[in-house]
Amino acid sequence: MPVVRINGIQLNYEEHGTGDPVVMVTGTGAPGRMWRTHQVPALKAAGFRVITVDNRGIPPSDPGADGFTLDDMAADIAGLIEHLGAGPCRIVGFSLGGIIVQELLLARPELVRSAVLMATSGRADTFATAQAIAEMDLADSGVKLPPRYAAYVNALQSLSPQTLADEQRLRDWLDIFEISAIDLASVRGQLGLQLIPNRLPAYAAIRCPCLVLGFEHDLIVRPQLTREVADAIPGARYTEIPGCGHYGYLEKPAAVNAALVDFFTARLAARVAAPAVGVTARAVGVAAPAGGPVAAPAGGPVAVPAGVRAGAESRS
């Protein structure tokens, strides 16, 4: 796991495969290994070089001495792309990672060829604001939720009704949530970053081709907030994956992977055949095959960050 000094901090990243690069940016409290189980193998098989990163504040990456902002995190990703000579690249952002990528597309558009934004948002509405403040209050209180209780809350907030009704799959998820739960206080630096003002008007300046993925039963970043981002970005395409909650990329990996690979390979084919043009189509409700239990990635269990959502990755 290489560590490189970027933007004044030590940033940890991994590379998998060869080919055109795809950079993957996780959400609040989540390590880069979240992508190993499903997305890295699918993108490698499609001929891409996959670059995952532990965001600022996630060990072994540094938090930064004086706190940090969304602009800092976008600059971290820009610096990593430049360090690796990977630009212009394809990029994927999930939840808070999606918001980071959106700021990158505005600040450094020359570094990105196309982007997939999953479970993202462009503003903090009343519910999202209340949730973020509650999480910060919990982190600051010094109270640590018992792992089994944290796992239960995480399942309620992050999984679909279909998974909650499947007793075997639910047991597997609860086990994963329990063993991978962490204390919210350990990721306190990232918790307030989702309290963003309304950035939707600014996204009208984005010119990068974007696929925006919402998850039907997402209670953390509700699909209507994600659709707003697609509506705000000129030419963006919106697809909603049915039958999954906030962890749609783990709960319905086949559908998510198909969307990623289809979008990136279509853009690659278009670039080879002719100059790329903006994506204008809109698609809703991509069919997703029933997914099995989530497998733990090599090197450890699926690390779903802790919190009010039971050690789950924070809402954005």
Instruction: State how far the Cα of 144 lies from the Cα of 182, in Å rounded to an integer.
Output: 9
Catalytic residue among 54, 186, 218, 316: 218
The answer to whether 10 and 61 have CB atoms below 8 angstroms apart is yes
Question: Which residue among 38, 61, 76, 95 is the active-site one?
Answer: 95
218 carries an active-site annotation: yes
> 18, exposed or middle or buried, with CB in 10 Å at 0-12, 13-18, 19+?
exposed
List 16, 38, 217, 246, catalytic entry:
246
For strand 3-6 and strand 9-16, is the pairing parallel, antiparallel, or unpaired? antiparallel
Long-range contacts formed by 61-66: CB under 8 A, 24+ apart: 61/3, 61/9, 61/10, 61/11, 61/12, 62/9, 62/10, 62/11, 63/9, 63/189, 64/8, 64/9, 64/189
158 is catalytic: no
Q: Give catalytic status of residue 246 as yes or no.
A: yes
* Residue positions annotated with a catalytic role: 95, 218, 246
